[in-house]
């Protein structure tokens, strides 16, 4: 099934897949996004976006924050525990991002309330 999905990948995503298949085909050979970007001559952000494209296409591209650090291709025939652990870590990170967004919005609202409105120097009397 993955062979069929490969045809729907963008050319850069297919290049990343080939790179991971050659160099980071198991956890022991995990490579950082910075290293991959340098080898492929693309920005780090693009590596992250391409890895997401590969995941959407069904490829188990895992990113480890514990040693060995980096991104690697989990072969489906192996143990899927690493893929499950990565999925769980993404969930925890998503919760942290949503909380950060909530705190940022509160800080923005507080900053807006403390800022004078218009040229009269008056403050808002009521919240929206």
Taking only the tens place, the pLDDT of each residue in 77-123 is 667 888 898 999 999 999 999 999 999 999 999 988 887 666 555 66
pLDDT digits (tens, 9 = 90+) for 2-28: 444 445 899 999 999 999 999 998 889
Q: Which pTM does this prediction carry? A: 0.73
Structure token digits, residue 7: 């045809």
- The CATH architecture that domain 1-77 belongs to is Orthogonal Bundle (1.10)
pLDDT digits (tens, 9 = 90+) for 47-73: 999 999 999 999 999 998 888 889 999
SS (H, E, C) 41-81: CCCHHHHHHHHHHHHHCCCCEEEECCCCCEEEECCCCCCCH
Q: Which sequence spans correspond to the domains of the chain? A: 1-77, 79-115
Picking from 34, 27, 37, the residue whose alpha carbon sits closest to that of residue 86 is: 27
């Amino acid at each position: 099934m993955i062979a069929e999905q490969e045809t729907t990948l963008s050319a850069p995503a297919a290049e990343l897949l080939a790179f991971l298949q050659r160099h980071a085909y198991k956890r022991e050979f995990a490579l950082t996004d910075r290293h991959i970007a340098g080898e492929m001559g693309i920005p780090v952000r693009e590596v992250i976006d391409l890895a997401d494209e590969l995941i959407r296409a069904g490829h188990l591209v895992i990113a480890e924050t514990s040693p060995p650090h980096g991104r690697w291709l989990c072969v489906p025939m192996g143990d899927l525990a690493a893929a499950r652990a990565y999925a769980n870590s993404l969930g925890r990170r998503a919760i942290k991002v949503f909380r950060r967004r909530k705190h940022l919005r509160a800080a923005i609202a507080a900053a807006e309330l403390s800022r004078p409105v218009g040229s009269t120097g008056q403050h808002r009397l009521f919240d929206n």
